Structure 1
Amino acid sequence: MQHVTARRRWVAVLALLVAACAIVGAGAPASAAPRPLAAPGESGDDGEGGSKSLLDKLDEASKGYVTAKTKLQTSKTQQTKLAATLKELDAAIGPQQKSLNMYAVQAYTMGRLGPLSALLSADTTEGFLDRAQLLTTVAERQNQAVSDLRTTRDNQVKAKTAIDATIVDQQRQVNVMAARKTQAEQALKEANQGSDSGDDSGSSGGSTDASKPSGSLSGGCTVDDPTTTGCITPRLNFALKQAQAAGFNHYVACFRHQNSGEHPKGRACDFAADKGGFGGVATGSSKTYGTNLANYFIHNADTLGVLYVIWFKRIWLPSSGWKSYSGAGGTPSTDHTNHVHLSVT
């Protein structure tokens, strides 16, 4: 009898549990988006897999490299324009010299007659005035030809000097880029990171898919982050929209509070490999998605202002391409095997 009573009590308890679960389930929205698993930075690490010292050094080195590269490209563009101007000036020298020679001959011929003789030999008042006007016109044209030729030659000298200056500046920027490259690689080496990854695919920056920005992307953390409650920079907002427009629409989180790195500055986003959030180590189509996204950022590094990209135990730097990189925690978040990290200038 006691056995039957106890059994009935267990049945009643189970019934109550089932009823409670049904009530909770009924209150949840049927179409709720899948809740992301623990985001990078929520497991005790600083979110980017490296120490504050390493991240600060990488930030400084990559930013210096990107700045120098931009200045180098600007200088080369200026050199091209100056070279075109110099070519036009060189082409103008010949006709201007010929024109000056012609007026010199006219002046010499009229000079042999003598201006006074030329005027006195006029038969009429009208002829006198005509000859006076002719002498004045020849003199004015000769003076203008001399002025034009002098101006062209002065501009030639200025253009050549400017070209020489751009060449010096370009060498300076090349030296800065080399120094920043060494700085970044030394920082990785000191942190026991950064050996060659053995894969250079997509390691060169450029611009292929992303649209050119229509306005200035300068500024601080001034744009409301569409992925969190924080803020991001105009440049990061542009990169985020460009990636999404290119079809990379999995879960993404940008701003967050942490002690170092780009996230608290609004200059970094974590793009989940899985569609619903930050899961375990990406495999199959999720890993392919992450690889394609990382290569998208690299191929459009110049347009998007990429500082560095981290994906699957590797970091891509504008100066050095892919280098090995893994976090101290050894988790999918710290090793970046479940998300692509993007930092921009």
Structure 2
Amino acid sequence: MALGKTVRVRTPLAAALAALALAGHAALPGWAAPKPTVKQLKKELATLQKESDKLIADYYSSRIAHQKAEKAAKAAEEKLAAAQEVFDRESAELRAIAVAQYTGGEPNQVALLLGSQEPSAVLGGMALTQYLISEQAASLRGYARVRDERQRAQDEASARAEELGTAVAGLGERRTKAERTIEKIRDRIDRLYVAPGARPDGTFVPQLPDGADNITPRMRLVKQLVQERFTVPYGIGCYRTIQDGGEHPLGRACDFMLSRGGAMPSAEEIRRGNAIAEWAIKNARRLGIMYIIYRQRIWHVRNGAWRTMSDRGGTTANHYDHPHISVY
């Protein structure tokens, strides 16, 4: 009878404790909402794929418009250069005429008629003078036409340059939108993968290494996803026999190299390393990632923050040339 009473007393208490534990879990990050199902993720992917296709088509149209604007702007610049050349030549000729008139004086027809020259010589001089005046007038008219053509070419070049600027700005905006959507698709695809050995409470069952690469299935999945998402041209090092207290000899760690021979990586490779580390942090709880080491810092899933490490004496030892990822 006493035993029965004990059971009746403990059962409600156990239920209350279980409810309290569940309530506590619900308050923790990651427990507030249920994880999306594969079906939900695939539905989201289908919607995002349609959006992505529209954005890519829009970006393509913008590229064509940009190329046309670029071609028109180049043609307008060439036309302006040619008009400027003619304008400069005509300006030089007019300046020469003006200088000649200023220094020599323009012939006076009345003076020619009243002078002591023979009439035939006077008439000949007048004819020559009239011819020169006609030539100057023609030069002035030609100059005005060249000047106006140059101005039109300049206006057209300015308009085409403005169109090109607008096309460039639109192209950049469309590219950014498309890239953001593609990034969303990548994130949704990542979420379709769940690390093998994961348990509902967020812990991970230990795994044995297997396969020719001597790494665990969980580490192999992380390595595969990094390779699919990022280019790692300098190789990936995982299993090694040296017992250094880390996860490499257990098949639970990989190094994603950003340079060769211990050289300091380029700025572009450093950005790639940062991107790999950020991706690993974002997906750590779902993929069973325990910690990341990069650039003499360590991020552990338990505290979710970077911590500076002591100096180990070199570029590779301090992980400046590669991010290191360890899994449970």
Q: TM-score range by the shorter chain?
A: 0.3 to 0.5
What's the TM-score once normalised by structure 2's chain length? 0.40
> Taking CA–CA contacts closer than 8 Å with sequence separation of 6 or more, which of the two structures ends up with the larger relative contact order?
1
Q: Which has the higher helix share?
A: 2
